[in-house]
Amino acid sequence: MNLSNHLTLNIRTIIITAGICLIVYLMLYFEFDLRAITIITVMLGYITNVYAGLMTLVGLLPLIGPLIVKVLTIPVFWIINSLGYITSAIAIKKGYGKETVRHRVITLSLLIGIIIGYILGHLMPVR
């Protein structure tokens, strides 16, 4: 990906983010329910992939940008792992020992896959 394509993607992210902010402002101005505003904002952000674009823009900041991105993405890894432990504890209490082992193996495979993907992504960047 050359520089002009990268700048186009960043400008697109900025325009989409500004559009979502404008929509939120208008909903607040017309006194929509706050829960509806939240749901609409999250759905618009998810549909347009604006969250990944914002992380890219933050990552472009010199020195501190990559650190902020890493701090924001590490909790996703911990949440996946903790959800595995919570569901395992519930399953063990209900007597699903064999299924629990399968579940933990799948969760562990997912986490190892994320780590391997992260390492390979840094060793062989996509152009």
Count Cβ atoms within 10 A of the Cβ of residue 123 and give its class: 0-12 exposed, 13-18 middle, 19 or more buried.
exposed
Q: Are residues 127 and 68 in the same domain?
A: yes
78 and 106: one domain?
A: yes
- DSSP assigned state of 61: S
Q: Give 25-71 pLDDT, tens digit per residue.
A: 999 899 888 888 888 888 888 787 787 788 888 888 887 778 777 76
Q: Are 54 and 19 within one domain? A: yes
Task: Tell me how far apart the alpha carbons of residues 28 and 39 are, in angstroms, rounded to a whole number.
Answer: 13
Distance CA 108, CA 99 (A): 14
Is 69 in contact with 55 (CB distance < 8 Å)?
yes
> In this predicted model, what pLDDT tens digit does every residue of 75-113 receive, in sequence order?
777 777 787 778 778 878 888 877 777 777 777 787 777
Residues 23 and 84 in one domain: no
Question: What range defines the domain where residue 22 resides?
Answer: 1-60
Encoded tokens for 85: 């432990």
Total count of domains within the chain: 2
Cα(87)–Cα(107) distance, rounded to whole angstroms? 11
Structure tokens at 76: 């996703």
Task: Look at residues 28, 44, 60 and tell me which one is the last residue of a structural domain.
Answer: 60
- Which two structure tokens, joined as six digits, stand for 5? 């394509």
pLDDT value for 26: 93
**Residue 69 sits in the same domain as residue 48:** no
Q: Are residues 52 and 42 in the same domain?
A: yes
- The type of residue at 108 is L
Same-domain status, 41 and 83: no
Q: Is there a single domain that holds both residue 7 and residue 41?
A: yes
